[in-house]
Amino acid sequence: MPWLELTLRCREADQPRYERALDDVGALAVTLLDADVDTPNEHAILEPGVGQTPLWGEIALSALFDADTDGLVLLASLEAFDPDLDWSQASFRKVEDQDWERAWMDQYVPLAFGARTWIVPWNRELPVEAQAHDAAVVRLDPGLAFGSGTHPTTSLCLQWLDALAQAGELDGRTVLDFGCGSGILALAALKLGAARAVGVDNDPQALIATADNAQRNGIADRMNVFLPDDEPAAQYPVVVANILASALDALADLLAARVAPGGRIALSGILAGQEDALLDRYGEWFDALAVAQEGDWIRIDGVRCS
C-alpha cells in the first residue's frame, strides 16, 4: 500500500522538537539524514563514540503517514502542537510500498560461521555441508529489523560461540543474549549445545521474533525472553551482547554483574576506534580481554575475574 511522506529540513538543535511533534500527530516512522546531499559521506555517522550522540548540523527529516492522511489537516495539527517551528517548508509526496522483506530474503543465502554453525533462511534448501551430523543449523526468517548473520557484528559473535562450542565451553550451560533481536545468537548457542538460553531486549517485537524463531527451530522449551526490567537477576557462564558501543558503555555494570566468576563475555556492535574506551571500561571486571575485527567492526571478549 502507498504512504504519505512529509519531508523538511531542520537544524540539529530543533530536531527533537520536530520529531516530538511528528510522533504526536501519528507518524509511523521518522528518518534522519544528512541534509548536505552534495557530500553526505563526509559527515556520515554510522555510530557515535562512547558517551556521544552527535547529529549533522542540518538534517533532512522525513516522516511516513497513512496514505489517506490529509496533508493540510496534518500541517494544521503540527502547527498547533508547536507553533514556533517552521512548518511552511514541509513538502508531501506519495510513496509506493513494496514487499521489502521478501525482496531482501530473496538475496539472503545460507551462511557458515566457524566449524559447525549455519544460518539458513526458511526459503532455501540446506547446503550439503549443513547436513553433516554435527552441524548447528539455525533456520531464520528475521525480516529487516533484526540480526540475520550478514552483518559483521553478528558474524563476529557467531564465530565466537562456535569457537566456545569447539572448546566444550557451551555444553550444558545457560547463555544470556542481551539485545537479542531475532534471537539468532541465543538460537545458535542452543544448537551448539547450550542447555538453555535467555534473550533480553527492550523492543517487545524483538521478543516476539525471538520466541517465534525458537518455536520454528524446535527449541522453544529451552528459550526464555524478557524485557530488561523483567529479567530475573542471575549470573551466567556465557554472556553475549551485540548492541552498540554507547549502550555497552552505559550497561557495563549490569553486564559485568551478569557474568559468573570465570564466565565468558562477548561484546559487539563496536566500530573500529571505539574499542579502547570499552577495553578500559570492562578491564575492571574481565581478564584476557581480546579484540577481533571484521571489516570496520570490533568484538571484545574476555573472562570474568574470579
Average model confidence (pLDDT) for the chain?
Answer: 85
The partner residues of 188 in beta bridges, in order of sequence, read: none
- DSSP 8-state assignment for residue 89: T
CA dihedral defined by 175, 208, 61, 105, rounded to 10 degrees? Answer: 90
With a cut of 50, say whether residue 45 has pLDDT above it: no
> Do β-strands 236-242 and 259-271 pair in parallel, antiparallel, or remain unpaired?
parallel
- The gap from C-alpha 37 to its chain's centroid, in whole angstroms, comes to 27
- The gap from C-alpha 252 to its chain's centroid, in whole angstroms, comes to 17
* SS3 of residue 86 by DSSP: coil
Residue bearing the bigger pLDDT, 42 or 109:
109
Range name among 105-114, 207-216, 264-273 with the lowest pLDDT average: 105-114
Residue bearing the bigger pLDDT, 50 or 141:
141
201 annotated to bind ligand: yes
Instruction: Say what the pLDDT of residue 303 is.
Output: 97
* SS3 of residue 132 by DSSP: coil
Instruction: Say what the pLDDT of residue 144 is.
Output: 38
Instruction: Say what the pLDDT of residue 260 is.
Output: 97
CA dihedral defined by 106, 47, 301, 252, rounded to 10 degrees? Answer: -130
147 annotated to bind ligand: no
- Concatenated DSSP letters of 90-127: -EEEEE----HHHHHHHT---EEETTTEEEEETTSPPP
Please state the pTM of the whole predicted model: 0.69
Instruction: Say what the pLDDT of residue 98 is.
Output: 57
For the chain, domains (ranges, CATH) are 3-97 (3.30.70.260), 149-304 (3.40.50.150)
Rounded to an integer, what distance in angstroms lies between the CA atom of residue 235 and that of residue 184? 21
With a cut of 70, say whether residue 3 has pLDDT above it: yes
pLDDT above 70 covers a percentage of the chain that reads 85
CA dihedral defined by 6, 12, 17, 20, rounded to 10 degrees? Answer: 60
pLDDT tens figures, 176-234: 999 998 899 999 999 999 999 999 998 888 898 899 999 999 999 999 999 999 999 89
**Range picked from 27-31, 238-242, 294-298 for highest mean pLDDT:** 238-242
